[in-house]
Structure 1
């Protein structure tokens, strides 16, 4: 019997009736209620409750939205500074047994080319990514018997083993189907960073409708997947919802239900939250229209930043470059860059997407360098930092450092150092000048201890003289 068919005895922590009541059109918060929630949110210290987040969701007034946006910007800068963490997704296999109606990889889609990378092909892809300047990857797998815990562990170990001219990949996260506790232990031993899984939709009737067959049809097996990961010792996990399958306000409160469940049961919430919007793919089935508009996506990002101030928010390349730029300072802390989602896409380096080979349509096809230049020109510090993972600052330990504000003396300095590495190893003179001017300005104005500032300057000189992988 497949493990995923085992009965999940836990009761769902998503209270559908409560959420529907909270987002009801009749539930209009007063000025007093709104101000009370905002006063708590502005402190940027604690996770908001479902009821408090609902107050923000049910506040469409222009002046309220503007206040939410301004507060989100302030919290983002206070907690994360100007840094934005960069990574790349690497698809290793697109075989799939599921029938997700919205996905190009679903089992019945005969238009898609199926492929699973072997270790030599992974070597080529990782080498190409290293040559571009990447240090952080997320490996992505379909749901198929070929993608066992053993296969995943081998691919993670292979990714870490590849050495390029300018170093190696320092952190490998994964996005894979939920597993048993024993299988999660196997992939933990391979040295993964964050384990990421998206519930897609937290509305169970819609979930059943869009997942009619396959492992993914089991709502609670997926819902409690991160519980099993936590029990296996993986304390860095990422959640997400695919916006466009159901009411976006419901999905925000579904995500918050997941956050609160993890905090209550394991002492730490998710390390990241993702909020991709549904985009075109081959062979998809259109259902009721729950399209999320641009202004609604901005509200989602800002409200999540207020609701979970210390959780990373990931804005993916599904969005256009223009949209990502508009959303960046509302609370986004991580983005992918130079993204290819075709199997062996990095070595092929195709300029145009071929949806017969890819899961969905991407909106931002810029190279890593182009994304970095745009970020730096707008005052953001691109970061490839992986120090927290390697020093054990994960899970509860990460919160111990981040909540009191100590993170400025770790993450921001590490961002400057990893940016300097990129500038030395990959950048042309004009880009180097832009980058170092930004670093100089950051050191001057960022809230760093004087001792840390001095140490940063010393480490920057070492990097210019050829030393690498220096961090706090």
Structure 2
């Protein structure tokens, strides 16, 4: 039985409901009146059900598709404006006991050099990241209770938060580690993490079990119910995602939205972020073995419909995607991107040449530096934001969602984005990026609708130029 509020994975991600939804969408792909009514509902900005979203994803009507893309742009602009939040992944260890067939960290891979960072090596990595200008990290580690116990993760978080280098500081640490217990999620919460991130990879249970033949991750229910345990452990910002291309993307698209609906129904808070990675080449991984590859055009549709269906959520695209691909989806709903990323353990302190031979989890398509990406975003009219204010001001969970759903989060985010960009331009940017960024700040400052906020922001921007740091609304 399908039950959105069930505590059991196979009931809130119900195979029968997904297959029925797929059949319903196929039967109604040409039902223009129905599609029109769904678009009218979507224009209200309150989201769509998984069936309604799937119908939009499947439509091939060019006019409706363009209207859908235009709506995704408007919703993104209304809730998130033209801000793009910047972050970087930090890989702590590639030791892993799982047998995931799509990941080079799998236990049987004897090509990849295994490595785990010491606390001193973490300090060097974080110092290098601070020298780039990053303020927000996503911690990554393979699942290995002996090499990567939770105690190691917690110690690493403490180390990261303790480092102050010149004007650098990591102000938010998000964590992407294996599913764990409610008690361990409480310990992560108490360590001051931002968002807990865990990708489902695929919601198709049969495919999931085939893709995860060995190791703790092979337990579909335990993995799928992880976000419930995280919420029960007091982590109210969680991030979900699938690895598009492992199986039928329409099945996983539907399951992803059902997961968001479940969290909303049970906890009153949907996912803080949704990530949309696609399968890509990596050591010991032949992407030809995965015939369900997602084309660029279909990828754009997925991003646009997710933005319409879950308007409040942050959407993340990584350096798996090329510059061209990222540019295409930025306007359709993406609100966070990584920059200057290294996907190997120890890749930042090692430098680009050495890092390219490091033990990477996946190949990076967008290899530009953070400064180049910031300059590129500014040139496109976006505000690269290094803001971490909501997490530090307690605007998480339902408090954040209430503001986001009402379109009011921009009242805080826009000035914070401008101030953190000013910090970046002052401390780290190249001359060309700095000039372009200053011009953008001057224009965007005038667009702040609240006169008092605009005046305070102007004063703080001046103070940042004079050496002060870390202002926030």
TM-score, normalising length: structure 2: 0.95
The answer (yes or no) to whether the contact 2:371–2:430 under 8 Å persists in 1 is no
Equivalences for residues 4-403 of structure 1 within 5 A: 11-24=10-23, 25-44=26-45, 46-145=46-145, 146-284=147-285, 287-351=289-353, 354=356, 357-403=359-405
SS in structure 2 of the partner of residue 23 of structure 1:
helix
Tell me how far apart the structure 1 counterparts of residues 13 and 388 of structure 2 sit (CA, whole Å): 33
The one-character-per-residue Cα deviations of 1:177-209 (angstroms, maximum 9, x if unpaired) are: 010011111111111000000000001111011
Q: 1:95 to 1:303 in 2, by over 3 A?
A: same
| Structure 1, unpaired ranges of 5+ | 1-7
CA apart distance, 1:29: 4.8
Partner of 1:3: none
Residues 111 and 356 of structure 1 are in contact (CA less than 8 Å); yes or no, is this contact kept in structure 2? no
Distance 1:289 1:356 in 2: 28
CA distance in 2: counterparts of 1:252 and 1:83, whole angstroms:
25
TM-score normalized by the length of structure 1: 0.95
3-state secondary structure, aligned to 1:432: helix
| Secondary structure class of the residue paired with 1:335 | strand
Distance 1:183 1:398, change over 3 A: same
Distance in 2 between residues matched to 1:200 and 1:353, nearest whole Å: 26
**Structure 1 position 247, deviation (Å):** 1.1
Kept after mapping to 1: 8 A contact 2:8/2:225: no
Shift of 1:12: 3.5
Aligned residues: 463
Q: CA deviation at 1:416?
A: 0.1
**How many Å separate the matches in 2 of 1:213 and 1:202?**
17
| Counterparts in 2 of 1:73 and 1:110: CA distance versus 1, 3 Å | same
Aligned-partner Cα distance in 1 for 2:159–2:47: 38
Counterpart-to-counterpart distance in 2, 1:168 and 1:457: 23
What per-residue deviation string (whole Å, max 9, x for no partner) do you get for residues 267-312 of structure 1?
A: 1001000010001122226545101000000000000000011100
Q: Distance in 2 between matches of 1:315 and 1:133?
A: 19
CA–CA distance in structure 2, aligned partners of residues 282 and 209 of structure 1: 20
Q: Measure the CA separation in 1 of the matches of 2:332 and 2:179.
A: 31
Offset, 1:212: 0.6
Query: Over aligned residues, Cα RMSD in angstroms?
Result: 1.5
Could you give the per-residue CA deviations for residues 51-82 of structure 1, whole angstroms, max 9, x where no partner exists? 21122122122112111111111111111111
Change in 2 beyond 3 A, CA 1:466/1:54: same
Counterpart for residue 415 of structure 2: 413
Q: Distance in 1 between matches of 2:51 and 2:109?
A: 41
**Alignment pair present for 1:435 and 2:432:** no
Q: Are the aligned partners of 1:57 and 1:303 in contact in 2 as well (CA < 8 Å)?
A: yes
Contact 1:281–1:355 under 8 Å retained in 2: no
Alpha-carbon distance in 1 for matches of 2:320, 2:300: 15
Gapped regions of structure 2 (runs ≥ 5):
1-6
The structural deviation recorded for 1:9 is 5.9
CA contact (8 A) 2:263 2:271 kept: yes
Distance 1:348 1:370 in 2: 20
Pair 1:363–1:420, CA change in 2 (3 A): same
Q: How far apart, in 2, do the equivalents of 1:428 and 1:462 lie?
A: 21
For 1:412 and 1:43, the matched residues in 2 are separated by 23
Are the aligned partners of 2:174 and 2:195 in contact in 1 as well (CA < 8 Å)?
A: yes
Q: Quick one: structure 1 residues 428 and 364, their matched pair in 2 at CA, closer, same or farther if it must change by over 3 Å?
A: closer
CA distance in structure 2 between the partners assigned to 1:428 and 1:282 by the alignment: 34
Contact 1:338–1:367, Cα closer than 8 Å, also in 2: yes
Quote how far apart the aligned CAs of 1:10 are.
5.8
> Does the 8 Å CA contact 1:282/1:356 hold for their aligned counterparts?
no
**Do the aligned residues in 2 keep the contact of 1:27 with 1:58 (CA within 8 Å)?**
no
**Whole-Å separation in 2 of the counterparts to 1:348 and 1:355:** 10
- Is the Cα–Cα contact under 8 Å of residues 84 and 382 in structure 1 kept in the other structure? yes
Deviation at 1:427, TM superposition (A): 2.0
Contact 1:274–1:315 (8 Å) recurs in 2 = yes
Q: Secondary structure of 2:98's match?
A: coil
SS at match of 1:330: coil
